[in-house]
Structure 1
Amino acid sequence: MTVLRRLSTQRSAALALAVVALLVLAAIAAPVVGWLTGNSPTEFHGEAVDPALGGLPRGAAGGISAEHWLGVEPVNGRDVLTRVVYGARVSLLIAVFATALSVLLGTTLGLLAGFLGGWVDTLIGRLMDLLMSFPGLIFMIALISAAPGADRRLLLVAVLGFFGWPYVGRIVRGQAMVLARGEFVAAARVLGASRRALLLREVLPNLTGPVLVVATMSIPACVATEAGLSFLGVGVQPPTPSWGQMIAAAVPWYAADPVYFLIPGAFLFATVLAFNVLGDAVRDALDPRSQRR
């Protein structure tokens, strides 16, 4: 409750939280948005584009009208609003599950390395160094391209989570090393607590704050990476909507139809910025040194 109260007193944090809440609500309510507008994310609207102009949307501002609130895509006339909200669902689901996987792996291995030390710490530490030294984006492209028939969404979750856990593990390891030498752990050990009890009851609960901050900061990184991979053509594949895919399709049209380029770009920018601001606010709220005296 103290963290929530401190977040509510920061205007930037409150605004970022509102943006995140709206994006999540839009992603959850994507079918409702499609029903309200009468459009599907994969439905073509040939009447909304002008073949004489090379397929540009009819009307001003990318074809914005009462039927298409954010306009339509050139050539095929698919509704931009429904594709954006369905794209939000895809991006956020991939980011959340990839972050959950990286946090689970990073917390487990980092906790073991920091608490047990010795050869366990050496082995896990070298594994983290090895993965962090790889050019992650190149390996992601290679791994995803090597499995053309796989479900790209599940593959993206696995790849992003696998390459993301060392960053979580490094932070958890450092915190666990400090906590393992704390007086409360020494007291529990004297009272006969087992190693498992020390890990799960004494050390792990005190890692909640750092893990929460890392998770909040990891989500926008996963959103941006997924968009980048989809932009390069190795992420989410059509007809499944994706912001990165929409931006890539809009590049040839940005001069003739800038609205089609700006809308998915604006949603991507707002999402990444909101999560980053929220992550900074959560970190400040959990840091006792940031409290006003």
Structure 2
Amino acid sequence: MTVIRKLVSQRSAALAFAVVAGLVLLAVAAPLITWIAGSSPTAFHGDAVDPGLGGLPRGAAGGISARHWLGVEPVNGRDVLARVVYGAQVSLLIAVLATVLSVLLGTALGLVAGFFGGWVDTVIGRTMDLLLSFPSLIFMIALISAAPGTDRRLLLVVVLGFFGWPYVGRIVRGQAMVLARGEFVAAARVLGASRRALLVREVLPNLTGPVLVVATMSIPGYIATEAGLSFLGVGVQAPTPSWGQMIATAVPWYASDPAYFLIPGVFLFVTVLAFNVLGDAVRDALDPRSQRR
């Protein structure tokens, strides 16, 4: 409750939380929103574009109208609102699942390495160093491109989580090393607690704060990475909507139809910014020493 009060007391944190909550609600309610708007992310609306102008949307601001609240895409006339809200659903789902995977792997391996030390720490620590030394973006592109027949969303979750767990593991390992040498752990050991009990009951609960912070800070990074991979053409594939994919297809049209370029770009920017601000606020609330003076 103290952490929640600290978050609410900060205007920036409260605003960031409201934005994140709104985006999550937008993603969850995507089917309802598109039903109310009367469109879908894959439906073509040929009457909303002008073939005589090379497929530009009819009307001002990218074809914004009572029928298409955020306009339509050039050439095919797909509804931008429908693709934006479903793109939010895809981006948030991939980012959250990748965060869960990386946190689970990083916490488990980092906890074991930091608590036991010795050769266990050496093996896990060198594995972390090896993965951290990889140019992860290049390897992500190579791995995803090498598996074209799989579900790209599932593949993105696995690849992002695989390359992300060493960052979590490093933090957990360091914290576990300190906690394993704490007096409360020594007291529990003297009282006859097993290694499993020490790990689960003594050390792991004290890692909740750092793990929560790193998880919150990981989500915007995964959202941006997914958008970047989709922008490069190796992420989410059409007709499944993605903000990065929308920005990529909007690049040739930004001069003649800036709305189609700006709308997914603004959503991506606001989402990443809100999660970063919220992550900073969570870190400061859990660790007052990290607050900027």
Match of 1:12 in 2: 12
The answer to whether the aligner puts 1:156 opposite 2:159 as a matched pair is no
Between the aligned partners of 1:288 and 1:186, the Cα distance in structure 2 is 27
Alpha-carbon offset, residue 289 of structure 1: 3.1
The answer to whether the aligner puts 1:89 opposite 2:126 as a matched pair is no
* Aligned amino acid, residue 220 of structure 2: P
* Aligned amino acid, residue 15 of structure 1: L
1:113-171 Cα deviation digits (max 9, x unpaired): 00000000000000000000000000000000001100000000000000000000000
Match of 2:258 in 1: 258
Alpha-carbon offset, residue 288 of structure 1: 3.7
Match of 2:187 in 1: 187
Q: What TM-score results when the alignment is normalised by the length of structure 2?
A: 0.99
Between the aligned partners of 1:68 and 1:125, the Cα distance in structure 2 is 53
Match of 2:224 in 1: 224
Between the aligned partners of 1:287 and 1:160, the Cα distance in structure 2 is 27
Identity of aligned residues (%): 86
Matches within 5 A, 1:55-66: 55-66=55-66
Between the aligned partners of 1:213 and 1:37, the Cα distance in structure 2 is 37
Matches within 5 A, 1:74-223: 74-223=74-223
Between the aligned partners of 2:75 and 2:64, the Cα distance in structure 1 is 15
Match of 2:270 in 1: 270
Between the aligned partners of 2:10 and 2:288, the Cα distance in structure 1 is 16
1:193-234 Cα deviation digits (max 9, x unpaired): 000000000000000000000000000000000000000000
* Aligned amino acid, residue 129 of structure 1: D
Between the aligned partners of 1:184 and 1:252, the Cα distance in structure 2 is 62
Between the aligned partners of 2:190 and 2:148, the Cα distance in structure 1 is 56
* Aligned amino acid, residue 247 of structure 1: I
Match of 2:69 in 1: 69
Between the aligned partners of 1:139 and 1:96, the Cα distance in structure 2 is 21
Between the aligned partners of 1:57 and 1:64, the Cα distance in structure 2 is 9
Between the aligned partners of 1:274 and 1:243, the Cα distance in structure 2 is 16
Between the aligned partners of 1:159 and 1:118, the Cα distance in structure 2 is 29
1:54-104 Cα deviation digits (max 9, x unpaired): 000000000000001100000000000010000000000000000000000
The answer to whether the 8 A contact 2:230-2:242 is kept is yes
Match of 2:44 in 1: 44
Structure 1 gap segments, 5+ residues each: none
Between the aligned partners of 2:131 and 2:234, the Cα distance in structure 1 is 21
The answer to whether the 8 A contact 2:92-2:223 is kept is yes
Between the aligned partners of 2:244 and 2:289, the Cα distance in structure 1 is 39
Match of 2:23 in 1: 23
Provide runs of 4+ in structure 1 moved above 4 Å: none
Between the aligned partners of 1:125 and 1:289, the Cα distance in structure 2 is 27
RMSD over aligned CA atoms reads 1.0
Between the aligned partners of 1:274 and 1:163, the Cα distance in structure 2 is 24
The answer to whether the 8 A contact 2:283-2:290 is kept is no
Between the aligned partners of 1:290 and 1:211, the Cα distance in structure 2 is 15
Match of 1:34 in 2: 34
Secondary structure class of the residue paired with 2:62: coil
